[in-house]
Structure 1
Amino acid sequence: MSLEVEKVTKVFGQNTAVDNVSFAVDRPGFIGIIGRSGAGKSTFLRMINRLTDASMGAIRFEGRNVLELRGSAKRAWQSDCAMIFQQFNLVPRLDVVSNVLHGTLNRHSALTTFFNLYPSADIHRAIDILDRLGIAEQAPKRAEALSGGQQQRVAIARALMQDPRIILADEPIASLDPMNAQVVMDALRRIHEEDGRMVIANLHTLDTARRYCDRVIGMRDGRVVFDGTPDQLTTGAARDIYGADASFSEASTSTSINALDETSRAMMEEAELL
């Protein structure tokens, strides 16, 4: 399984959101992309999935340039390349199973989808996936009744219903508390290891990138400024990625419960001194 990104660029008017990005992946790894807001991370993932067209460059998966795909070939690629979003993108009033079954939309007619007439095999598979993610008991509930962490696991289940080759996750834990963030990241890592699927995740915290990723790519102002292993992601490298000075503190980007507690305690102590 190979992915080659060659000089990919996206221009919006006078703004270059993604600037000449190139890298190659020769196996189904777990790749984290980090950087401050506006670094181009989300735009880049959307170009891989073909939700956004690139201005120039090539993205080749197993030798085929997916940026050139049109019509049914493009839709087939989007099934092979599932997307998980920060805000879950579920249908709040539908039950959990129906939301998961939406991962099969490309395989069924509009009539089947409109009347929720899914094959029993698909329904059983959806429940099996929910069980794998530890939320099978939530299957009959409306999606809006679930916690944020549970909703994100429903979104992961929907992605797995596509049986994708690649899973793209755009800030999958940005809106979650530390406990739910860990559950979601554990699930993504387990899917990568057990299924052999490539996972590319935009992340906003250094501790998460170090803990879960095999490889970390740092973006700043649309460009790749770091590409290495988690061990190579030093505080100095992080300062360069985030464009920060010597006062930069990793605790401010941490999802760790302990780190958050320490940050809160420091803020309280500072307030008491004022």
Structure 2
Amino acid sequence: MLEIKSLTKRFGDKTAVDAATFTVTEPQMIGIIGRSGAGKSTLLRMLNRLNDASDGQMLYEGTEVTRLTGTARRAWQARCAMIFQQFNLVPRMDVVSNVLHGTLNRRSTFATMFNLYPQGDIHKAIEILDRLGIAEQASKRAEDLSGGQQQRVAIARALMQDPAIILADEPIASLDPMNAQIVMDALRRIHEEDGRMVIANLHTLDTARRYCDRVIGMRDGRIVFDGTPAQLTTGVARDIYGAGADFSEAATSTAIETLGKQGDLAPA
């Protein structure tokens, strides 16, 4: 389905992603882990074509996505929906309208200017919100919701695109543990029930082990691990994060970076 061949992104003299290579032959839920600055977000942004690759190829069902331009590129971005850590909602707009923004790629300029939506799309948006347990929030402004609720609105907006792939860039990094579990449960359920591929950047190992079928570890822009959650041992995690023997799995990438400043680990 998805084939990544030596995908590379350089920003000036810095190589953010260095020859990333992996293949996904069936819909999976994949977690990408690594310390801050490992290249995880840049990799997802290349997959969605928000960033162009410096080198390498990405193919999906035989189509070379890295070469798409114009309308074809926008169509790919609809098939490969992106969910961000900071939600990227319109704060003063009601929830259902935020969800309907997932249809913008297939609407006319006139309809977009005057905020006109077909009744069928409105009903679909409410059905998706109901599926995510927040249909009662449909008429509220997005800024009035909790962080966990806003992230579920962002997931609903992605589902309105009817994507084949959902990319989630640190979707729970800013959430408390209870809301983080709700969001991850929702993403796992979407993967299982819809057969959609989900690729998520994650910052805790227990989350990757609990929810993902496959885990990819990145360090300094390179993929240094690609295996099952069972293969993600503490020793492997220590190598991914460039940590010493005192590495604690409870540490997030931010905590590891902080330890580095104290001399315990190499700085990020």
Q: TM-score range by the shorter chain?
A: over 0.9
Structure 1 residue matching 2:37: 3-state secondary structure: coil
Aligned to 2:257: none
- State the Cα distance separating 1:245 from its structure 2 match: 0.2
Q: Are 2:217 and 1:218 equivalent residues in the alignment?
A: yes
- State the Cα distance separating 1:110 from its structure 2 match: 2.2
- State the Cα distance separating 1:150 from its structure 2 match: 0.1
Aligned to 1:69: 68
Q: Is the 8 A contact 2:91 2:142 kept in 1?
A: yes
Letter of the structure 2 residue corresponding to residue 205 of structure 1: T
Aligned to 1:229: 228
Moved over 2 A (4+): none
Q: Where does structure 1 lack aligned partners over 5 or more consecutive residues?
A: 255-274
Aligned to 1:49: 48
Letter of the structure 1 residue corresponding to residue 108 of structure 2: S
Q: Are 2:2 and 1:3 equivalent residues in the alignment?
A: yes
- State the Cα distance separating 1:113 from its structure 2 match: 1.7
- State the Cα distance separating 1:115 from its structure 2 match: 1.8
Q: Is the 8 A contact 2:129 2:135 kept in 1?
A: yes
- State the Cα distance separating 1:10 from its structure 2 match: 0.4
Q: 1:90-101 counterparts in 2 under 5 A? A: 90-101=89-100
Q: Percent identity?
A: 79
Q: Where does structure 2 lack aligned partners over 5 or more consecutive residues?
A: 254-268
Q: Are 2:16 and 1:17 equivalent residues in the alignment?
A: yes
Letter of the structure 2 residue corresponding to residue 139 of structure 1: A
- State the Cα distance separating 1:250 from its structure 2 match: 0.7
Aligned to 2:266: none
- State the Cα distance separating 1:251 from its structure 2 match: 1.6
Letter of the structure 2 residue corresponding to residue 173 of structure 1: I
Structure 2 residue matching 1:167: 3-state secondary structure: strand
Aligned to 2:198: 199
Aligned to 2:262: none
Deviations 1:111-160 (A, max 9, x none): 21222210000000000000000000000000000000000000000000
Letter of the structure 2 residue corresponding to residue 144 of structure 1: E
Aligned to 1:122: 121
In 2, Cα distance between the equivalents of 1:37 and 1:64? 32
Count of residue pairs brought into register by the alignment: 253
In 2, Cα distance between the equivalents of 1:251 and 1:218? 17
- State the Cα distance separating 1:101 from its structure 2 match: 0.1
Aligned to 1:58: 57
RMSD of equivalent CA atoms? 0.8
- State the Cα distance separating 1:252 from its structure 2 match: 2.0
In 2, Cα distance between the equivalents of 1:23 and 1:48? 12
In 2, Cα distance between the equivalents of 1:243 and 1:252? 13
In 1, Cα distance between the equivalents of 2:81 and 2:172? 17
Structure 1 residue matching 2:250: 3-state secondary structure: helix
Structure 2 residue matching 1:251: 3-state secondary structure: coil
In 1, Cα distance between the equivalents of 2:179 and 2:42? 25
- State the Cα distance separating 1:63 from its structure 2 match: 1.1
- State the Cα distance separating 1:80 from its structure 2 match: 0.4
- State the Cα distance separating 1:109 from its structure 2 match: 1.4
Structure 2 residue matching 1:51: 3-state secondary structure: coil
Q: Is the 8 A contact 2:204 2:250 kept in 1?
A: no
In 2, Cα distance between the equivalents of 1:247 and 1:107? 52
Aligned to 2:167: 168
In 2, Cα distance between the equivalents of 1:208 and 1:239? 16
Letter of the structure 1 residue corresponding to residue 14 of structure 2: N
Aligned to 2:157: 158
Deviations 1:210-260 (A, max 9, x none): 000000000000000000000000000000000000011012239xxxxxx
Structure 2 residue matching 1:11: 3-state secondary structure: strand
Structure 2 residue matching 1:67: 3-state secondary structure: helix
Aligned to 1:87: 86
Deviations 1:172-230 (A, max 9, x none): 00000000000000000000000000000000110000000000000000000000000
In 2, Cα distance between the equivalents of 1:159 and 1:30? 16
